Copies of this chain bind each other. A is one copy, B any other.
Amino acid sequence: MSLKSFLIGSPIETIKEKHERLSKTMGLAVFSSDPLSSVAYGTEEILFALVLGGAAFLNYLLPIAVAIVILVAIVATSYYQTIHAYSSGGGAYIVAKDNLGDYPGLVAGAALLIDYVLTVTVSVSAGIAAITSAFPAIRDHTVALCLFAILFISLMNLRGVRESGKAFSLPVYVFIGGLLLLIGASFANSFSHPSVAYAALREPASAIFPIFIILKAFASGCATLTGIEAVSNGVKAFKAPEAKNAGITLIWMAVTLAILTIGIAYYAHYYAILPNENETVLSQLTRTIFSKGPIYYGIQFATALILILAANTSYADFPRLSSIMANDRYLPRQLSNRGDKLVFSNGILILGFLSALLLVLFRGDTHSLIPLYAVGVFTAFTLSQIGMVRHWVREKGKGWLKSAFINGLGGLVTGVVLVIIAVEKFAQGAWMVLVAIPVLVYLAKEVQRHYQSVADQLSLDKCVVEAVDYQHHSVLIPISGMQQAVVGAIKYGKAISDDVTAIYVYIDPVETRKMKEKWDSLCMGVKLQILHSPYRSVTEPLMDYIESIREDYPDGVITVVLPEFVPSKWWHHLLHNQTALFIKGILLFKKGVVSTSVPFHLRK
């Protein structure tokens, strides 16, 4: 208990829940760390995929970056509409469930939960890669650094440190400013340094099916779009008029994302940056322009920081979505419990555990995690857009046809991209997500079925004929010898019933004789029943005896009173047979038997 309060701090009262409203500039900072941070690895992923086809393919970087920016525009326009239709926050799970039904909703929900875990893993590993690019000496400790970052973010969230616009705005704007500075300086620098633009590498493209290489690179680059839906989930967090402010923020964000993506890709191409396992593309470009001076280190730190903030957004999204799904009975209800700090602690713990596990499995390598990433994102995009089309068609409000068309186009494009990603990235890891989503959907349905079945069985609406005769109440007290705890239990037994029997299990003849002599000398005023146990088990003869009483009085109540001595230190438990605990465990599954613990507290 004291360790918990040291780590987490003291609890917060329910009524103290506060609702901070965000301005547009603050909103941009809070919601854009996730989408903008993907600029840090987007270009690099495209280059890694292209270089597999041969150096000549590197020249496709710019067209692919342009295609991705067009995709950003389409998706952002679609979400702009979602914001105005679902002003209370329209996550893909809710939109798909409301408009398309339970299963599409669950698919979107499962895809999102997986993605939130991956956002943490990818962002943390990319953030640590920004640091290790600047300080190669600590590169060997990548996994440890990543785990430390996850532990830190998890603890902060368990402590209830909430998204605070002020704290968030600084690194986000430093990052945006730093990258704009980088693009500007690259532009200025380009006058004195002619482009080397992979020119030395200009050779005929050698792959047999060049289109597959290009599609694979496009699929890799789609990781840039992750998090773009964040604003539409959080419309309620904006100052009034909420929908309008959120919409404008979304446009700002999409424009910034487009500028940074094109800018980085253009100058990576201009200066012929090659992808490399030991240093990120962004770090190489920054080093080329500014060399290893204060501006370089500033941009690396800002990159690491915005990526850590991006991971942090999942710590708001994952517990919130899992609590919504738990309230719909699709996930264990423990996920809807608020902890001491008013946060959904169980969701935070599960997210921290899963992302740490993934990090260890993939050894903190951003590059090998990316193929898993985009599948979930685009599944959610597609379902959400199709759900919106259904929404417009159903509502038939003003301009519904135009709205349905825009979302329909968005759904179509993201659907096609989803197929490209699933096919191109299948063997590299996308299959895991494609397997995990249906498994999660199946489990969610099973969980819901179970809760429904429990509710039906516990309901008082149906009258259950369970005739219990509370007049006939047999109390059994298993004892292992005569001592203080046993005396207390027998006195308690006599207080709750007139039919009390002490039970002693005969294992060793000498012990049994001693026990009987002691019993006779003490005159406890209740029967002593000695049960034989050829196999030395204590529980089996007791259960048989309970059965025999049950035969005599089928409707009677049987209470097993267990004398328990409680050690003063928890580790003393290791030195004692846990027979009472074991008997209680078995009795729980024995129908119509009540078990009672009468504790006797040791003082030392």
Chain A residues packing against B (C-beta within 8 Å): 11-15, 332-334, 337-338, 340, 447, 450-451, 453-454, 457-460, 464, 466, 468, 470, 473, 482-485, 487-488, 491-492, 494-497, 507, 522, 534-537, 557, 559, 564-567, 572, 574-577, 584, 587-591, 593-604
Q: Name the B residues within 8 Å of A588 (CB-CB).
A: 564, 566, 597, 599
User: Nearest Cβ in chain B — how far from A11, in angstroms?
Assistant: 4
Q: Which chain B residue lies CB-closest to A602?
A: B457
Kindly identify which residue among B451, B466, B535, B577 contacts A334, using a CB–CB cutoff of 8 Å. B577
Asked if A534 and B15 make an inter-chain contact with CB atoms under 8 angstroms apart, the answer reads: yes
Asked if B338 and A536 make an inter-chain contact with CB atoms under 8 angstroms apart, the answer reads: yes
Kindly identify which residue among B14, B483, B572, B575 contacts A536, using a CB–CB cutoff of 8 Å. B14
Asked if B591 and A601 make an inter-chain contact with CB atoms under 8 angstroms apart, the answer reads: yes
Interface of A is mostly: mixed
Q: Name the B residues within 8 Å of A466 (CB-CB).
A: 488
Asked if B599 and A596 make an inter-chain contact with CB atoms under 8 angstroms apart, the answer reads: no
A564 to B454, CA, bound (A): 12
Interface centre among A450, A485, A487 (most CB of B within 10 A): A450
User: Nearest Cβ in chain B — how far from A150, in angstroms?
Assistant: 24
Asked if B11 and A535 make an inter-chain contact with CB atoms under 8 angstroms apart, the answer reads: yes
Asked if B13 and A534 make an inter-chain contact with CB atoms under 8 angstroms apart, the answer reads: yes
Asked if A460 and B447 make an inter-chain contact with CB atoms under 8 angstroms apart, the answer reads: no
Asked if A595 and B594 make an inter-chain contact with CB atoms under 8 angstroms apart, the answer reads: no
Asked if B14 and A535 make an inter-chain contact with CB atoms under 8 angstroms apart, the answer reads: yes
Asked if A599 and B593 make an inter-chain contact with CB atoms under 8 angstroms apart, the answer reads: yes
Given A13-B534, A457-B604, A536-B338: A492 and B594 within 8 A (CB)? Answer: yes
Q: Name the B residues within 8 Å of A450 (CB-CB).
A: 572, 575
Q: Which chain B residue lies CB-closest to A482?
A: B460
Q: Name the B residues within 8 Å of A337 (CB-CB).
A: 577
Asked if A13 and B535 make an inter-chain contact with CB atoms under 8 angstroms apart, the answer reads: yes
Q: Which chain B residue lies CB-closest to A600?
A: B458
Q: Which chain B residue lies CB-closest to A570?
A: B589
Asked if B597 and A584 make an inter-chain contact with CB atoms under 8 angstroms apart, the answer reads: yes
18 pairs across A/B with beta carbons < 8 Å? Answer: A12-B535, A332-B576, A333-B577, A450-B575, A453-B602, A454-B576, A457-B603, A457-B604, A458-B483, A458-B565, A459-B484, A460-B484, A464-B484, A466-B488, A473-B495, A591-B601, A593-B599, A594-B597
User: Nearest Cβ in chain B — how far from A517, in angstroms?
Assistant: 13
Q: Name the B residues within 8 Å of A587 (CB-CB).
A: 597, 599
Asked if B453 and A492 make an inter-chain contact with CB atoms under 8 angstroms apart, the answer reads: no
A492 to B334, CA, bound (A): 29
Asked if A14 and B492 make an inter-chain contact with CB atoms under 8 angstroms apart, the answer reads: no
Q: Name the B residues within 8 Å of A565 (CB-CB).
A: 454, 457-458
User: Nearest Cβ in chain B — how far from A45, in angstroms?
Assistant: 36
A12 to B12, CA, bound (A): 57
User: Nearest Cβ in chain B — how far from A342, in angstroms?
Assistant: 8
A488 to B535, CA, bound (A): 36
A597 to B334, CA, bound (A): 22
A459 to B333, CA, bound (A): 46
Q: Name the B residues within 8 Å of A602 (CB-CB).
A: 453-454, 457-458
Asked if B557 and A495 make an inter-chain contact with CB atoms under 8 angstroms apart, the answer reads: yes
Q: Which chain B residue lies CB-closest to A494?
A: B470
Q: Name the B residues within 8 Å of A567 (CB-CB).
A: 454
Q: Name the B residues within 8 Å of A494 (CB-CB).
A: 470
Q: Name the B residues within 8 Å of A564 (CB-CB).
A: 588
User: Nearest Cβ in chain B — how far from A334, in angstroms?
Assistant: 6
Q: Name the B residues within 8 Å of A589 (CB-CB).
A: 566, 599, 601
A502 to B513, CA, bound (A): 45
User: Nearest Cβ in chain B — how far from A494, in angstroms?
Assistant: 7
